[in-house]
Structure 1
Amino acid sequence: MTETDLRSRTIRSLVWRLFEQGGSAIIQLVVQVVMARLLTPSEFGALAIMLVFVNVGNVVVQSGLNTAIIQAPDVTDEDFDTVFWMSLAISLVLYLAVFAGAPVIGDFYGLPFLVTPLRVLVLVLVVNAYNAIQEAIVARGFDFQKTFRSTVVAAVVSGTLGVGCALMGGGLWALVIQQLSYQVTKCLSLAVQIPWKPRPAFRRGRAWVLFGFGWKLLASGVLDQLSQSVSDLIIGRVFASGELGLVSQGKKYPQQLGTLLDSVIQPVMLSAVSRVQDDTDRVRRLMRRALKTSTFIVAPSMCAFALVAPILVPALLGPQWASAVPFLRVYCLAYALLPIHTTNLQVLNGMGRSDIFLGLEVIKVAIGLFALVVAVYSFRNIYAIVLAAALSNMICTFINAFPNKRVVGYPYLRQLRDIAPAFGLAALATAAAWPLGSCALGAAGTVALQLLAFSATYLLMAWLLRVEELYYLLRVAQQAMGGREDS
């Protein structure tokens, strides 16, 4: 694939990823706001405990083999069939394990009512075994418009069902139905658009080849998910489920915002890198572009969110969620660094270096667990636990970036220099908009004024200082609009 063709397909894919992520996120945000006003922190805390097991299971079902299919230079329909049957078998084993262990989990957390909802929610693992293949096909073909359609449809359907159940007093079941119906609807919607259907074919030789690459990513994904989730498990055990609900909501919104913005770029970059992995210079240029562009968007978004959170959260979610604001602000700081994590890891994936990927995860899990143990046993304070998680996250940026000095010639200090302008401008914009929080304009007026001042300061300074990422995004927008007009 030529440089021009790769750039053109990448830009089109970025636009569709933006539509996909943005459209789905807006709908889900509305749904989450409504459900947060209808349900209690304790119910969201119970969901957070269940999602730990579901999320770890999803990594086992989807992560390694799915990425192996995307990264492989050439794949056949039999490869897709082989991976599907492997993923399905794994999902069924995991489902039976969680089904059998649900009573023990409920007793451990003193929440016996979790048993049946957990057994129902974990059915999502079986659904995702099928959906993982569909998403791999989409990623390989840069056909992200199909994912856009399916995620928007899924967000509407699941949101309607979840809110309807909450209005009827469904409580925790409203959250379970919303989570499960989203994945089922997304899977069915993709199945309508993608011609692939599983056949009774299994190639043992290809299974070993794909597993040889994927098992390291699988182990890495499980370790990463456990490191992210272990704090929820400990908070749920040591503190009340209501406090876990506050922490989980304080984490969820920055996480979703950061992932929304960053994931527009990262999956597209993985597909692009896997196609030019033999050309280190092109990979380095792709990586640098992805890191700078993603940070230019994510860093100010996180700063702006933290800025308006004390007014926005109680106004949108209700006064019962005001105590989540300190946690939200800490996680905004942590997720502002998301691009440096994901960009480095995606490059290692795209270059086929899953061996390095696994080693990094082992080191990061050790750091995260050490910080968590110190926070729990030295302070036994929920704020200390959250701060420890954020601190270990910042330390791990260096861990993720270190190998790429050798792999693609892009060292950590150079990466920091590349993203420093975005953080500097975001800090300046925050300082300019902060005093406006005391204006007596009502919640909506004050938030709007602060965001307007923040955005104007950030963009104006980027324009005056001729920050390259701003001009790149403008060029991408022009090319995307030109491509749409041509089509």
Structure 2
Amino acid sequence: MEGNSSKTKSSIIGLIWMFFGNSFNVFSQLLILGILARLLTPEDFGVIGIILIFVNFSNIFTQMGIGTALVQLKTITEQHISQSYTLSIILGILIGVLFYFLAPYIGTFFNLTDLEGPIRFFSFLFPFKSFNGISTSILQRKLRFPAIVKTNTISYLLGYGLTSITLAFLGYGLWSLIYGQLAILIVETVMLWYYQKPSFSIISNKSILKELMVFGSGYTLDTNFNFFAENSDNIIVGKVLGAASLGIYSRAFQFLALPASFFGKIYDKVLFPVLSNKQDDKAKLTSFYIFSISFCLIILFPISIILLFNAELIVRVLLGDQWLDVIEPFQVLIIGFAFRFGTRINKSFLKSLGLVYHGALYQFIFAVLMISSCLMGVYLFGLVGVALGVLFATVMNYLQVSFRIQKLLDFKYKYFLMLHANAFINFLPIVIVVTLTLFFGYGSIANSIIISIAVILPLLLIPVKNKKSIFYDAHNSLMFNQFVNNSPGIVKRFARKLNLVK
């Protein structure tokens, strides 16, 4: 019992570290994005977006799910770790060579003649990226979240924050973003080497290799389908509408991805190891799943409404007037914020249960939905049509995977749907106010700020005051109390001062 309590406290302290670390990262990313958006063009961002599509796809094969296997396996030895490092470096070199020779064909596909040099530059980075992936996974397994937070924060600040901004001021254009990626990787490698000394060995133990690869291959299959599901919109926009349109769309999607990644990274990095340790306890997994979905609805749904209402303000302040075309796609995408994070929850539970091949099937369905929806949308309504396609596919995928998870855990799907209905009813006054205001117009940016502060924010208190909301569900109250009671003293005192717990 004492060991379980210690793990719970470590996880919650890790959660708090990740929360504040990711909060700082989001703030710094928005600040850096705002500066770069005024120095570079939409086409520059579009070209780097195209390159990163293929870099991220290749990254799947430099890992082959080995890092995830290190987190998920119940027990690992020093041989697991040393063979993982060796295998990842080999895979990184092989993928880098392949990427180098495919560079001309990628440029031809997107009708861009100047892609070959940047793509070949990235091909030399793959061995280091695969190495870093293993180190991060080991730190994650050990619940050393402060090390992960420091590495991510410092590397981003020195990479994009210092390198890219300086080079953009000096007129390097697209290459300022590319050299920023290199700087991030160098800092990551040095810091991860410091926090987690690597070890290498000849791949001789076939049983360990098989153990890593069986889980890893299933995860890779799942990740491949997930890649096409998550990137088909970018590929379609880049191919059909061009690099400049992709630059616009990628900024709209980044405004969705930043808050989604903020919560998603916390959930994955802190709670996935804990869920893996409880994979045989169906009752606890069920309780935690319902609590996670409830949190998703009660916190993220109102955030999405506020962001939707203030989309013009966000774009003008952070990006500037040359990026106003970002507004409409962003407003459509942000509607699906809670469902996107809910999908992240579903994936974490499937991974923690070891059902990576089930996850691969669900990701395949998601990929088909995404590709067909985005293709239809881009030819009907352009960028807004792609955003509508993404929204539709995201919601449908969330519902279909949740339906399958309820068969694995111990709850009724009717109860699951009622959670969503309850949340929507509680936030209905805000939805009505926002819809009517956007329809009739709010006149100016100043008016949108006044309405947000004087009307929308007070309405957010309704679910907190309403004792029938899912926040006060008997099950969720129990889980929330457990969370607070295992938190550091300052968090306990703050929660009790606000009467959030007894």
Q: TM-score, normalised by structure 1?
A: 0.91
1:104 alignment partner in structure 2: 105
Q: What are the ranges of 5 or more consecutive residues in structure 2 without an aligned counterpart?
A: 494-502
Q: Distance in 2 between matches of 1:206 and 1:167?
A: 50
Question: CA separation in 1, counterparts of 2:444 and 2:483?
Answer: 37
In structure 2, what is the equivalent of residue 458 of structure 1?
Answer: 460
> Which one-letter code corresponds to 1:138 in the other structure?
L
C-alpha spacing 1:447/1:164, structure 2 compared with 1 (3 Å): farther
Aligned counterpart, 2:207: 205
CA contact (8 A) 1:20 1:147 kept: no
Contact kept, 8 Å, 1:292 with 1:469, in 2: the verdict is: yes
**2:75 paired with 1:74:** yes
CA distance 1:442–1:298, shift in 2 (3 Å): closer
Out of 304, 307, 324, the residue aligned to residue 306 of structure 2 is 304
Q: Is the 8 A contact 1:436 1:449 kept in 2?
A: no
SS across alignment from 2:487: helix
| Structure 1 Cα separation of the partners of residues 10 and 340 of structure 2 | 25
Note if 1:327 corresponds to 2:329: yes
The reply on whether 1:83 has 2:89 as its aligned counterpart is: no
Task: Provide closer, same or farther for how the CA distance between residues 163 and 96 of structure 1 changes in structure 2, counting only shifts above 3 A.
Answer: same
Distance in 1 of aligned mates of 2:372 and 2:347 = 22
Is 1:344 aligned with 2:346?
A: yes
- Listed one character per residue, the Cα deviations across residues 386-445 of structure 1 (whole Å, up to 9, x for unaligned) are 3122211111112221221222124544333334444444453354467788667755x8
- Which residue is equivalent to 1:115? 116
- Provide the residue aligned with 2:487 in structure 1: 480
Residue aligning to 1:428:
429
Which residue of the partner structure matches residue 185 of structure 1?
187
Following TM superposition, by how much is the alpha carbon of 1:174 offset from its aligned partner in structure 2, in angstroms?
Answer: 1.5
Counterpart CA distance in 1 for 2:162 and 2:188 is: 14
* Same amino acid, percent of matched pairs: 19
CA offset at residue 171 of structure 1? Answer: 0.8
Report which stretch shifted further, 314-323 or 286-295.
Answer: 286-295
Deviates more, 1:452-461 or 1:54-63: 452-461
Secondary structure of the corresponding residue to residue 76 of structure 2: coil
Q: 1:226 to 1:200 in 2, by over 3 A?
A: same
- Structure 1 contact 70–140 (Cα < 8 Å) conserved: yes
Q: How does 1:57-456 map to 2 (within 5 A)?
A: 57-62=58-63, 64-158=65-159, 159-194=161-196, 196-202=197-203, 203-375=205-377, 379=380, 381-432=382-433, 446-447=448-449, 450=452, 453-456=455-458
Alpha-carbon distance change, 441 to 405 in structure 1, aligned in 2, over 3 angstroms: closer
Deviation at 1:341, TM superposition (A): 0.8
CA contact (8 A) 1:333 1:390 kept: yes
How far, CA to CA, are the matches of 1:473 and 1:281 in structure 2? 16
Please give the per-residue CA displacement for 1:172-199, whole angstroms capped at 9, x wherever unaligned.
Answer: 11111223322332232222122x3122
- Distance in structure 1 (CA, Å) of the matches to 2:388 and 2:105: 30
Contact 2:18 2:266 in 1 (8 A): yes
> 1:383, CA displacement in angstroms?
2.7
Q: Distance in 2 between matches of 1:271 and 1:263?
A: 13
* 1:45/1:242 contact within 8 Å kept: yes
The one-letter amino acid paired with 1:325 is I
Matches within 5 A, 1:33-72: 33-62=34-63, 64-72=65-73
Q: Mean alpha-carbon deviation: is it higher for 471-480 or for 281-290?
A: 471-480
- Shift in Å, 1:121: 3.1
In 2, distance between residues paired with 1:415 and 1:188? Answer: 45
Residue 149 of structure 1: CA displacement? Answer: 1.2
Bigger shift: residues 124-133 or 242-251: 124-133
Q: Distance between the aligned counterparts of 1:144 and 1:214, measured in 2?
A: 23
1:63 CA displacement: 6.0
- RMSD of aligned Cα (Å): 2.7
Q: Helix, strand or coil for the counterpart of 1:113?
A: coil
Unaligned runs of 5+ in 1: none
Once residues 451 and 121 of structure 1 are traced to their aligned partners in structure 2, the CA distance between those partners, rounded to angstroms, is 45
Q: In structure 1, what is the Cα distance between the partners aligned to 2:487 and 2:256?
A: 28
**How far apart are residue 246 of structure 1 and its match?**
0.9
> For 2:251 and 2:137, how far apart are their aligned partners in 1?
30
